[in-house]
Amino acid sequence: MDNVGRVYHYSGGEIPDELRSTITSIRVAPQVEDIPDGTFQGCINLAEVQFAQGGALQLIGDNAFKGCTALKQVSIPPSVTTLGSGAFEGCSNLTDVQFANEGALKVIGVRAFYFVLLYSKLGMTRNSLTQKHNRRRAYLSNPSKAVPPTAAKNAARKITSLPPKVSIPPSVTELGSTAFGGCVRLTNVQFANGGALEVGDLAFAFCTDLQQVSIPPSVTELGWRAFKSCSNLTEVTLLGTGYLAKGFIGRILLGGEAALNKTRIKHLFGPVLRAFPSCPLATIKIQISRELSQCMARLPEECRRSVKGRIHDMHRLELAQDGNVFACFPVIRRSTDDMNVQDTNDQTAASLNRVLRLISFHELKESSILTELAVWKSRIDEAETPVPPEERHEYRVSIPDPAKCLIMEYCGFTDFLEPAIEGN
């Protein structure tokens, strides 16, 4: 290892304790495959970490950079597969964390970016604040046996523990418990829709500036109280078509009154609500089957504008800029931790019903017109003598009822929209 001034050239192994207080910058050699547990822990003046481009680094060990309070920015190399427990815990001035979008990162460990309180900014002694911090950590580890101290909670709001935005790359499969717990300035969490991702218990607990979050279908497990006490979190969006698939919508709309009854609502939202205790949730949005958007896209422009305009005017439905449709459900709160979702007065089900029927109407209308024109033209072409323009209307016929049924069957909506059969 070659130490040049205060820039430390790191080629592996441990570093001398006497250098921990003087190092301000490190350069990790390209051949380094892992940074062992606690290697740079407590390097309070370390402000810059440079990883070699195209390096071999795969593991950043437990507590590797814990307590590096001068560190403000870090870019995790694409070669890293595991970020150990507490890897950057207590880096209380860290304002920019970047993950490679096409990297190999699989695991973000327990407390990887867990906040600590900043002694110098609070006018407290190290010992007194350490006691308060330990009590808060005990609460996050076992909330049933401890109460978070008010002083520590208020103090946490005054510091910057993590950047305002974090993007979890698609390669990550495990997000450890309390991985981003207490990151009080975190306002935006983005989950890339990649492989299966398990979000650990209390992973984003006490992220008090977080206002909304979107959960992609790649999240297969949302841990116990994953977003506990995110005191400004009012909106959750569930992406993917697994919640309200087209066939499922078709079936529930047959139910008429209370189509989205308590049993179905509980099945949809029960596991989700358990992840958001002590959050002021007002709305949960669910993406409706992508097939619905595709059906809309196939409509003529005039019909499509008509459907979109109707959606904007409907209760509990939202049309995104990308064309996806979301069903919006209000959250009913009985107490701080007791939340429920209800389709009050069947407004959501009724709006879904109207949208599907409207799209089906336009599909049937367009299909019927084309079929009618084809039959009309064929009769004119088959006439024994040329048909003059003024007589062509006499060759026009209505579409036979069996043809209407076949068209509806082809379009896939015979289960909830009956054709207008002549004579009925």
Nearest Cα to 353, choosing from 305, 407, 315, 405? 315
Domain annotation covers residue 424: no
List 188's β-bridge partners, or say none.
Answer: 165
Same domain assignment for residues 311 and 406? no
Please check whether residues 115 and 207 belong to one and the same domain. Answer: yes
Question: Same structural domain for residues 401 and 323?
Answer: no
- 383 in the same domain as 247: no
Domain range for 105 is 55-354
Look at the chain and report how many structural domains it folds into: 2
Q: Is residue 43 part of a domain?
A: no
Q: DSSP readout, 103-149?
A: S---EE-TTTT-----HHHHT--HHHHHHHHHHHHHHHH-GGG----
pTM over 0.85? The answer is: no
Decide if 268 is inside a domain. Answer: yes
Tell whether 342 and 381 lie within a shared domain: no
Establish if 28 belongs to a structural domain: no
121 and 145 assigned to the same domain: yes
- Could you give phi then psi for residue 130, rounded to 5 degrees? -60, -40
**72-77 contacts: CB < 8 A, separation 24 or more?**
72/47, 72/96, 73/48, 73/97, 73/98, 74/49, 74/98, 75/51, 75/100, 76/51, 76/100, 76/103, 76/105, 77/51, 77/52, 77/53, 77/103
The pLDDT tens digits for 236-265 are: 998 876 656 545 555 544 554 445 666 667
Please indicate, yes or no, whether residues 371 and 306 belong to a single structural domain of this protein. no
Task: Give the pLDDT of residue 63.
Answer: 97
Shared-domain flag, residues 250 and 365:
no
Bridge partners of 249? none
Asked whether residue 178 falls in the same domain as residue 232, the answer is yes
Q: Is residue 213 part of a domain?
A: yes
| Residues 388 and 346 grouped into a single domain | no
Please indicate, yes or no, if residue 25 is contained in any of the structural domains: no
**Within a domain: 68:** yes
Single residue among 354, 379, 396 that ends a domain in this structure: 354
Report how far apart, in Å, the C-alpha atoms of 69 and of each of 46, 152, 186, 192 are.
8, 18, 18, 29
Is the sign of the CA dihedral 221, 105, 140, 144 positive or negative? positive
Domain boundary residue, one of 306, 334, 354: 354
Based on the fold, state whether residues 349 and 366 are members of the same structural domain: no
- Tell me if 317 sits within 8 A of 328, measured CB to CB: yes
Give the relative orientation of helices 401-411 and 347-381 as an angle to the nearest 10 degrees.
130
- For residue 42, count CB atoms less than 10 angstroms from its CB and return exposed for 0-12, middle for 13-18, buried for 19 or more: middle
Same domain, 333 and 372: no
| Regions of the chain short of the pLDDT cut 70 | 1-6, 116-163, 241-264, 336, 344, 367-368, 400-401, 404-405, 407-424
5 within some domain:
no
